[in-house]
Amino acid sequence: MNTNQISRFPFLSQDKSVKELLEIIQAKEIDLEHRVTVLQLACRHTLKNIYEFPEKVFESERGAVLSKECTQCGITVEKPKGPPWKICERCWGEMEFKFTEPEQSEGAQHYECSQCRHHHSRT
């Protein structure tokens, strides 16, 4: 049973000894969170990609990178917001405009990632 569960039950949370232990645990949890945050800020992050399909053998088949996690401190970096023609779905690099196909009625625009050379087109 964790501290959140105990506080939901009046019989447990009204007991003096349980109340005292809860206060100590909650103070230690706050201290722990603060220490972890300080260490994460000081960490020289080594980020690994968390893929859409991590079980695939080849990196090109693993799909989009959903987030990145530091192997040293465990901090998670979420994918930046933006459309796939501005932010690469594979590595989160910046997409660069390459050319427009004038022969198509919609004029498809082609973009390429400046880091991993992933291609995206849109109409």
How far are the Cα atoms of 33, 46, 116 from residue 70, in angstroms, in the given order? Answer: 17, 5, 20
Please give the residue that has the higher pLDDT: either 90 or 47.
Answer: 47
Domain extent listing, the chain: 3-42, 44-79, 81-123
Reported as a single tens digit per residue, the pLDDT across 5-54 is 777 777 777 788 888 888 898 899 999 999 999 999 999 999 988 888 87
State the DSSP string of 58-108. SGGGS--EEEEEETTT--EEEPPP--TTTB-TTT-PBEEEEEE-TTSSS--
- DSSP helix/strand/coil, 42: helix
Q: So what's the pLDDT on residue 104?
A: 61
Q: So what's the pLDDT on residue 92?
A: 86
Residues in CB range of 111: below 8 A, 6 or more apart = 85, 95, 96, 97, 98, 119, 120, 121, 122
pTM for the structure as a whole = 0.55
